A and B are shown apart, each in its own frame.
Chain A
């Protein structure tokens, strides 16, 4: 049996992915801050076919229980897999007014998950199996006027995942970097964003990426093209643009 631990399991983007894992009969460890919400998701996953579901507290800003979490998770005899959905995106103007928020944004998208993965990955390497799926963002591909702090945190995470892939790939652990464009969830509610995709479509892409052992996946696919173009814009021009 396969086991998956999901960091940030209450994220709107994660839900259809959790359900797909449940329907395929994976054991699930749902980790996040909102205990009640995690319990609701756990009930849903059980009824959809997950043979075992556990709920765990994971706070990207508080590393004190990571060792316990990992001990519980690795007590499973199965193939261990991890998916990271945690992250937060305050408005850039809110951050401009209160730069102290940067620390939290970094913790939610990068330092928290990276600390956890760093502690977990030796266990996965020891079993020479499993997948780590990390959710970055197209916002991490280039710093833009509208959300460059969030983008910086996601860029850090993407760079981390790239290095982790380089390391863990040698020991049979596959690392996937997912770069979603805007996804229709509570996080983006009320925003007018281009090429919006749905959590269901993201989940389909993630399942395909796991099956095909892809390295970096853009979802929706169009973002691969868009971001390639955006990255190619010379800095003297880019710095004057507001996209």
Chain B
């Protein structure tokens, strides 16, 4: 394989790595890849922090192994190469009545990445996590292809396993029936924190998510828009071509008054009585994909995303976190609140039954300090941080949050005894050492 010295970054662009990267394009290159020795793999690098980085080491870019291999309409099982993108699959199959059972917030995520982070979607409360709908994973492990099925310890260590059990080459995923490639979206205002949680708790829709105005304070703290979606069929204007962010934005692009004004407008866009609108599939599931490279809006210093989940009973702790965020004036417009179900597929899967809050912060010292405080509050609340987002946590915090870590370590040690698959995230959090 040709290995090229490259500098590449996580989606947040606050963390980056320099190292050799190769990109296999045809299936017959896998043999050459195996001959070069083990290295971790990355997809579209939509993890915000350092999960897809390997400083001074090698990295395999899987994005060109992206073929759809087979589909069985009787079982809904689709086999794809690991570099296939979830949004591409959704756009291809939704008009025929099928959707991936679980889709994360960006359609650019690859299947390999969805498995490695055991991602969740707006239907987590019904369908659980991505890994729970995977029926087979083909790994490149110690130079050989290996098929892994649900039920085994290796499967549980691979789902949400951060790529440490081998390179995910292919996978079979179970699709679910849908009515078409539209979504009927009901949007309701939630005027404060209590109302927001009440709406989320009461929602029985297939897809539910809350946008939260993280700049609102006082009696309006926690206000936002709760969106409920149901798939449907019909004709709407197709999504136009994605626009691009051609330049790194100046640092004041997301300054406090601008964000406040944006959030005010975003909240009031939905009438007080609520409304139902019809959206193209991508507009509902992957709203930010419309703007290519939107991460450049945060300027060249990049940004961090903080995402935690806390148990249902710890909602007051989450409210306190939000208070801290709103008071700081550092929040960005992109903040999401969601109620999660208990579903999780692997030892290191993020989800737990409770509430999850995700929010972006520009990469500034005061924001990093705030994230540190939020992480400590998450720990205290018995919550958990998300490896797909994290860039600042410490190993000690993570150990307390992931009680199955020793089981994962045992499997990983067998799968990759020499530590050839270690990434920057695994190194930073010292995940593989007991």
Taking a contact as CB atoms under 8 Å apart, the answer to whether B26 and A10 are in contact is yes
Residue of B nearest to A49 (CB): B92
Beyond A189-B2, A189-B4, is A47–B71 a contact (Cβ under 8 Å)?
Answer: yes
Residues in B neighbouring A44, C-beta threshold 8 A: 67-69
Taking a contact as CB atoms under 8 Å apart, the answer to whether B70 and A36 are in contact is no
Within 8 A of A (CB), among B1-19: 2-4
Give the size range of A's interface with the partner.
Answer: 10 to 19
Contacting residue for B27 out of A37, A185, A186, CB 8 A: A37
Give the residue among A10, A36, A47 with the most B Cβ atoms within 10 A: A47
Residues in B neighbouring A10, C-beta threshold 8 A: 26
Task: Give the CA-CA distance A10 to B25 in the complex, in Å.
Answer: 9
Taking a contact as CB atoms under 8 Å apart, the answer to whether A34 and B92 are in contact is no
Taking a contact as CB atoms under 8 Å apart, the answer to whether B2 and A190 are in contact is yes
Within 8 A of B (CB), among A25-51: 34, 36-37, 40-41, 43-44, 47-49
Contacting residue for A48 out of B4, B27, B68, CB 8 A: B68
Residues in B neighbouring A190, C-beta threshold 8 A: 2-4
Within 8 A of A (CB), among B59-118: 64, 67-71, 92
Task: Give the CA-CA distance A47 to B25 in the complex, in Å.
Answer: 19
Task: Give the CA-CA distance A43 to B170 in the complex, in Å.
Answer: 14
Residues in B neighbouring A185, C-beta threshold 8 A: 25
Taking a contact as CB atoms under 8 Å apart, the answer to whether B28 and A34 are in contact is yes
Taking a contact as CB atoms under 8 Å apart, the answer to whether B27 and A40 are in contact is yes
Within 8 A of B (CB), among A2-25: 10, 12
Total A-B pairs, Cβ < 8 A? 44
Taking a contact as CB atoms under 8 Å apart, the answer to whether B64 and A12 are in contact is yes
Give the residue among A43, A44, A185 with the most B Cβ atoms within 10 A: A44
Residues in A neighbouring B23, C-beta threshold 8 A: 186, 189
Residues in A neighbouring B27, C-beta threshold 8 A: 36-37, 40
Chain B residues bordering chain A, tally (CB within 8 A): 17
Task: Give the CA-CA distance A10 to B26 in the complex, in Å.
Answer: 8
Residues in B neighbouring A37, C-beta threshold 8 A: 26-28
Task: Give the CA-CA distance A189 to B64 in the complex, in Å.
Answer: 12
Residues in A neighbouring B68, C-beta threshold 8 A: 43-44, 47-48
Closest Cβ of chain B: how far from A12's Cβ, in Å? 5
Taking a contact as CB atoms under 8 Å apart, the answer to whether B69 and A36 are in contact is no
Residue of B nearest to A189 (CB): B2
Task: Give the CA-CA distance A47 to B69 in the complex, in Å.
Answer: 8
Give the residue among A10, A36, A37 with the most B Cβ atoms within 10 A: A37
Binary contact readout A162-183 vs B (1 if CB under 8 angstroms, 0 otherwise): 0000000000000000000000
Within 8 A of A (CB), among B134-183: none
Task: Give the CA-CA distance A12 to B70 in the complex, in Å.
Answer: 21
Residues in A neighbouring B4, C-beta threshold 8 A: 189-190
Task: Give the CA-CA distance A185 to B64 in the complex, in Å.
Answer: 9
Residues in A neighbouring B3, C-beta threshold 8 A: 190
Give the residue among B23, B26, B64 with the most A Cβ atoms within 10 A: B26
Task: Give the CA-CA distance A44 to B70 in the complex, in Å.
Answer: 8
Residue of B nearest to A192 (CB): B4
Residues in B neighbouring A189, C-beta threshold 8 A: 2, 4, 22-23
Taking a contact as CB atoms under 8 Å apart, the answer to whether A34 and B26 are in contact is yes
Taking a contact as CB atoms under 8 Å apart, the answer to whether B28 and A43 are in contact is no
Binary contact readout A184-195 vs B (1 if CB under 8 angstroms, 0 otherwise): 011001100000
Residue of B nearest to A199 (CB): B64
Contacting residue for A43 out of B2, B22, B70, CB 8 A: B70
Residue of B nearest to A44 (CB): B67
Beyond A12-B64, A37-B26, is A48–B92 a contact (Cβ under 8 Å)?
Answer: yes
Contacting residue for A40 out of B22, B69, B71, CB 8 A: B69
Within 8 A of B (CB), among A49-104: 49
Task: Give the CA-CA distance A186 to B2 in the complex, in Å.
Answer: 9
Task: Give the CA-CA distance A43 to B71 in the complex, in Å.
Answer: 9
Closest Cβ of chain B: how far from A49's Cβ, in Å? 8
Taking a contact as CB atoms under 8 Å apart, the answer to whether B71 and A186 are in contact is no
Residue of B nearest to A23 (CB): B92
Binary contact readout B263-280 vs A (1 if CB under 8 angstroms, 0 otherwise): 000000000000000000
Seed contacts A44-B67, A189-B2; 20 additional CB < 8 Å A-B pairs: A12-B25, A12-B64, A36-B27, A36-B28, A37-B27, A37-B28, A40-B26, A40-B27, A41-B67, A43-B67, A43-B68, A44-B68, A44-B69, A47-B68, A47-B92, A186-B29, A189-B4, A189-B22, A190-B3, A190-B4
10 pairs of A and B residues whose beta carbons are closest in the complex = A44-B67, A47-B68, A190-B4, A186-B25, A190-B2, A189-B2, A37-B26, A44-B68, A12-B25, A43-B69
A-to-B contact residues, CB < 8 Å? 10, 12, 34, 36-37, 40-41, 43-44, 47-49, 185-186, 189-190
**What are 21 sample pairs from A and B whose C-beta atoms fall under 8 A apart?**
A12-B25, A12-B64, A36-B27, A36-B28, A37-B26, A37-B27, A37-B28, A40-B26, A40-B27, A40-B67, A43-B67, A44-B67, A44-B68, A44-B69, A47-B70, A47-B71, A49-B92, A185-B25, A186-B26, A189-B22, A190-B3
